[in-house]
Structure 1
Amino acid sequence: MASAVDAVTATFRFYEELNDFLPRAQRGRDCVCACARAATVKHMIEALGVPHTEVELILVNGESCGFDRLLQDRDRVSVYPRFEAFDITPLLRVRGEPLRTTRFVADAHLGGLAHLLRMTGFDTLYDNHFADSEIESIAMREGRIVLTRDRELLKRRGVTHGCYVRAIKATPQLREIFSRLDLGRSARPFSLCLDCNAPLRRIDKTEVDGRVPPGVLARHDRFATCACCRRVFWEGSHWRRMRALVDELLPPGTA
């Protein structure tokens, strides 16, 4: 245990949706915390319950800093989520660069969201048998954004980019992720297999004879297939329901 000489006291204040991770009594107010002299900002933020992946900007005594800043006695730490309305480019963000390609890995509870992200063209790995350690390893190795409702997973050292998903059901989850990460302009709807996460390719009508019901062959002319599972897709009633959701998510003129 730290002695009275070694201990330091810092004041933390979390803003906007970061308060969702705090006990109700600590939300929207200063929180005075005792911590070891060697504690970093990241260590204390996560000790208070906030995953580091949810943090975009940290100010200590009014100056921006990174996660590795060592806390000193009487420091005042202000912690902010992603900014929607303000340009904070002159300030030091807590991670150097965004990921070059937007790709995801989803935990075991987000299978529905994974399918909908694939529907909108985002490479999303999902297996309901993935252990947390495996998700961390995949995220590190392949530069993927971790999607989860488990805040402890987002606290793992190897997870540099991640989102805590607040919504419970798949469609609201998709709307949430599109809004938070501004995905609308980079979506490529109906370009990936919903099951395999592999690219789809257009296929001539003559090549699907015997692979789809006769009525479908008679009513439709546009088909696509997945090279992995060989499933054939067409623009039927299920596609029209998905198209309506896609049109809602994409900016005007990009659908």
Structure 2
Amino acid sequence: MSPAAFTFDRILTPLLPLALRGHTVVRAWAASATFKHAIEALGVPHTEVGRVLVDGRAEALEAVLPVHGHVTVLGVEPSLPAAPLHFLCDAHLGATARLLRMAGFDTTYDNNYADAAIEALALADDWIILSRDRELLKRRGIRRGAFIREREPQAQMREIVARFRLADAARPFSRCLECNVPLRLLSVEEAAGSVPPRVRERQHLFSTCDVCQRVYWPGSHWARMNALLAGMLAPQAEDGAPQTAERILRSGSAGA
């Protein structure tokens, strides 16, 4: 058994057991233990680790622990993920999955997914796994993911936007909130048979989901959702105000 001294970035310390926070952690590990094994045994999923340094020298997470040296574990630097930019929310984040879809992000959610199924999907299709379950995020097959610290959906959304630098990638109201598929713009004539007469008289921008056949338009409910998104996405439009329905729809997104 070889002892190793670990210091964790401040952003990672809340993931450690209370007794280990705020100071160097010294533990003895088996000779074959990797950095991943040791860090996750202390409570930090590998999805939260940015860099691992031994006496200032970068080491791979899968490398075997050294016999000597001080290990510094740094948190992930916020950045926009490489393609494919799609998210899988576990059972704890159903409301947040809907907010991600509202912002235009490819997001799947099913509260019946078992951990093994989530890992298999992540491994096969490189989903970004969002979860409040640290044990799930420690699974080896999950390459990309994030442990969501906040508990309230809007706060979770703001956390996700900041973690993955999503503001500029957002395409509000471009996906069906129920089916997650991209919406298709409709002409007034195409929408006529699917919306109430008063809506046809007042609106001229429509979109539809080709799976569930829902028709969307920028009515009062859309305005409330637009204001909600404005508080979760940053930066705002260049003029400092949320984008209007016309600007969003004409730029290729769809109303709701």
Q: Which residue of 1 aligns with 2:137?
A: 154
Q: Which residue of 2 aligns with 1:169?
A: 152
Q: CA deviation at 1:140?
A: 1.4
Q: Which residue of 2 aligns with 1:70?
A: 64
Q: Which residue of 2 aligns with 1:89?
A: none
Write out aligned runs for 1:1-255 (5 A): 7-83=1-77, 98-248=81-231, 249-253=233-237, 255=243
Structure 1: 5+ residue runs without aligned partners?
1-6, 86-96
* Secondary structure in structure 2 of the residue aligned to 1:16: coil
Rounded to whole Å, the distance in 2 between the matches of 1:107 and 1:189 is 22
With normalisation by structure 2, the TM-score equals 0.88
Structure 2: 5+ residue runs without aligned partners?
244-256
* Secondary structure in structure 2 of the residue aligned to 1:109: helix
Consecutive aligned runs of 4 or more in structure 1 exceeding 6 Å deviation: none
Rounded to whole Å, the distance in 1 between the matches of 2:164 and 2:182 is 22
With normalisation by structure 1, the TM-score equals 0.88
Rounded to whole Å, the distance in 1 between the matches of 2:234 and 2:81 is 21
* Secondary structure in structure 1 of the residue aligned to 2:91: coil
Asked if the contact 2:55/2:69 (under 8 Å) is kept, the reply is yes
Q: CA deviation at 1:84?
A: 5.6
Q: CA deviation at 1:161?
A: 0.7
Identity %: 47
Asked if the contact 1:99/1:143 (under 8 Å) is kept, the reply is no
* Secondary structure in structure 2 of the residue aligned to 1:77: strand
How many residue pairs match? The answer is: 238
Q: RMSD value over aligned CA atoms? A: 1.8
Asked if the contact 1:9/1:75 (under 8 Å) is kept, the reply is no
Asked if the contact 1:15/1:28 (under 8 Å) is kept, the reply is no
Shift in CA distance, 187/98, structure 1 to aligned 2, threshold 3 Å: closer
Q: Deviations over 1:16-53 (max 9, x none)?
A: 22111111221121000011011000000001110000
